[in-house]
A = this chain, B = another copy of it.
Amino acid sequence: MNSTDLNTIPPTELSELEVILSAAELASGQLRRGDRTTRATYLIAIADALDAAADPLVLLAHHETQLTEVRLRGELNRTTFQLRLFAEAVADARYLDVRIDHADPEWPMGARPDLRRTHIPIGPVAVFAASNFPFAFSVAGGDTASALAAGCPVVVKAHSGHAELSRETAQVVSEALATAGAPPGSFALVFGTAVGRALVQDPRIKAAGFTGSISGGRALFELAQSRPEPIPFFGELGSNNPVFVTQAADTARGAEIAGEFIASFTLGSGQFCTKPGTVLVPLNSRMLATLRKAKLPDGAPMLNERIRSGYVESVRALQAGGAEIINAGPAPYGDIPSPILHLVSAADVLANPSTLLAECFGPSALVIEYDNAGQLGDLALAFEGQLTASIQAENGDDVAELIDTLMVKAGRVLWNQWPTGVSVTYAQQHGGPYPASTSSVSTSVGVAAIGRFVRPVALQGFPQRQLPDELREDSADPVPRLVDGR
């Protein structure tokens, strides 16, 4: 069914990778020594160029990924907005977390020297693009925007699912950077799995960002950690995004919640890392009754055949684990899979969590019927680390304990909202305990994502003129600073 050939572009030669990495290393020093205001203009230049090329890029993306033009235009808009927001963040420089301690002979543990701490770019970054967001988590997506904002050159490993789009996007990015005066080597694109492995192992690469499967991400994570010099590996792998519905919420809004749930898990044919894959409902719920008889939306083409067949396999595994089909469209295992809903009991889940709570990347979801509210804590604990967890509750509900558990399990917890939207904001958190992320202490979406690609450095006893501007007493740069702890 899929019109895309996954291997339209040959892998990058290792000799070419060598040239790219040498250039990235050179660019790294130039970007580090350059000023932030200039760097911010590079991000804006990329955003402007992508907007200008929107029509052909969206068309190409649609051809390669089957995603609708409306969705793709929205995604490109998100991508260019993100670049511009990060340009602002580079200028305001909160991400530098500047701290200045003046020398203090009275410091209680002994005389304190003059110490000034800022952050520098970590060095060249490898970015592994995702299949499901050909713009927002790909060539010019969040990881690339974060790394460039931080002052790091980027080498993107293209996803084979949208290779032509990747090449065209990279062309736009490269030209925009060159025109804006960015150092050559600030950005490059490579193709091929073996090249990706070489990339993450190369000593010139100092950090990596990844969005994709648990198996693929784990393999690259392990390569990154087994290097002579291990590097931070920011991988966003898998998530089930459970939704916990209280008895009171079901009584008040069961049918409504059911409808919203269907809309959320079938959005984009279920191909979101934040798709709510599981919903927990009380016994004899209105929600379950509604889900059983609801007319599910039509299926939509999946990104490519590999993803489709993997999805069907994961649905079959769920069924083999005892999940009962409670509703399905006409062709749940077809070329264009219809949405499908399953049911299991709480006891089944607690007995076999690894099978029943595994991620199904596609338009499938699982309903878990719980016997009583006392079970919710144990059920929440049965999940691995999650990107999101959601509660559907009423104001009178006593759910403090459940919220506490969900905060431990997930990076983002939602109240009466749905996880499939991930807004790019200052406070966003996208990443949670493993396997949601290989680095639960960071985020891959939102302004804080820039912090992944900088490293702290303290300068002790420096004369003013040898300090970076943001650390000087008379800095003209209005960077927020913590001075003597205040």
A112 to B32, CA, bound (A): 33
A101 close to B (CB within 8 Å): yes
A466 to B460, CA, bound (A): 44
Which listed residue (B120, B408, B462, B484) contacts A408, Cβ 8 A?
B120
A456 close to B (CB within 8 Å): yes
Instruction: State the Cβ distance, A238 to closest chain B Cβ, in Å.
Output: 13
- Selected interface stretch from A169-177, A219-227, A317-325: A219-227
- Selected interface stretch from A48-56, A293-301, A427-435: A427-435
Which listed residue (B32, B414, B440, B484) contacts A426, Cβ 8 A?
B484
Tell me which residues across on chain B come within 8 A of A113, comparing CB atoms: 417, 421, 423
A222 to B228, CA, bound (A): 12
CB-nearest residue of chain B relative to A88? B485
Q: Residue among A101, A109, A411, A428 with the most chain B CB within 10 A?
A: A109
- In the complex, the answer to whether B222 meets A226 with C-beta atoms within 8 Å is yes
A60 close to B (CB within 8 Å): no
A211 close to B (CB within 8 Å): no
- In the complex, the answer to whether A77 meets B109 with C-beta atoms within 8 Å is yes
Known: A404-B29, A410-B457. A115 touches B415 (CB 8 A): no
- In the complex, the answer to whether B101 meets A425 with C-beta atoms within 8 Å is yes
Name the interface residues of A106-123: CB closer than 8 Å to any CB of B: 107-110, 112-113, 115-117, 120, 122-123
Instruction: State the Cβ distance, A68 to closest chain B Cβ, in Å.
Output: 16
- In the complex, the answer to whether B415 meets A462 with C-beta atoms within 8 Å is yes
Name the interface residues of A273-291: CB closer than 8 Å to any CB of B: none
- In the complex, the answer to whether A427 meets B225 with C-beta atoms within 8 Å is no
A428 to B459, CA, bound (A): 9
Instruction: State the Cβ distance, A437 to closest chain B Cβ, in Å.
Output: 10
- Selected interface stretch from A190-198, A366-374, A441-449: A441-449
Instruction: State the Cβ distance, A352 to closest chain B Cβ, in Å.
Output: 17
Tell me which residues across on chain B come within 8 A of A229, comparing CB atoms: 384-385, 433-435
A9 close to B (CB within 8 Å): no
Tell me which residues across on chain B come within 8 A of A425, comparing CB atoms: 101, 107, 112, 115
- In the complex, the answer to whether A412 meets B458 with C-beta atoms within 8 Å is yes
Instruction: State the Cβ distance, A232 to closest chain B Cβ, in Å.
Output: 6
- In the complex, the answer to whether B461 meets A415 with C-beta atoms within 8 Å is yes
Tell me which residues across on chain B come within 8 A of A399, comparing CB atoms: 466
A132 close to B (CB within 8 Å): no
A232 to B29, CA, bound (A): 28
CB-nearest residue of chain B relative to A439? B232
Size class of the A contact interface (CB-based, 8 Å):
35 or more
Tell me which residues across on chain B come within 8 A of A81, comparing CB atoms: 108-109
- In the complex, the answer to whether A482 meets B110 with C-beta atoms within 8 Å is no
Tell me which residues across on chain B come within 8 A of A463, comparing CB atoms: 395, 415
- In the complex, the answer to whether B485 meets A426 with C-beta atoms within 8 Å is yes
Tell me which residues across on chain B come within 8 A of A423, comparing CB atoms: 107, 109-110, 112-113, 115
CB-nearest residue of chain B relative to A78? B109
A457 to B436, CA, bound (A): 13
Instruction: State the Cβ distance, A397 to closest chain B Cβ, in Å.
Output: 9
- In the complex, the answer to whether A457 meets B411 with C-beta atoms within 8 Å is yes
Tell me which residues across on chain B come within 8 A of A101, comparing CB atoms: 425-428
Instruction: State the Cβ distance, A462 to closest chain B Cβ, in Å.
Output: 5
- In the complex, the answer to whether A413 meets B457 with C-beta atoms within 8 Å is yes
A184 close to B (CB within 8 Å): no
Tell me which residues across on chain B come within 8 A of A459, comparing CB atoms: 407, 412-415
**New A-B contacts (5) at CB < 8 Å, excluding given A113-B421, A120-B408, A407-B457:** A92-B485, A117-B448, A221-B230, A225-B225, A229-B433
Contacts A/B (CB < 8 Å), 25 sampled: A29-B404, A81-B108, A81-B109, A92-B485, A94-B482, A99-B427, A107-B423, A113-B417, A113-B423, A115-B423, A120-B407, A225-B225, A225-B230, A229-B433, A395-B463, A403-B466, A407-B457, A407-B459, A411-B458, A412-B457, A413-B458, A415-B466, A429-B456, A440-B455, A448-B456
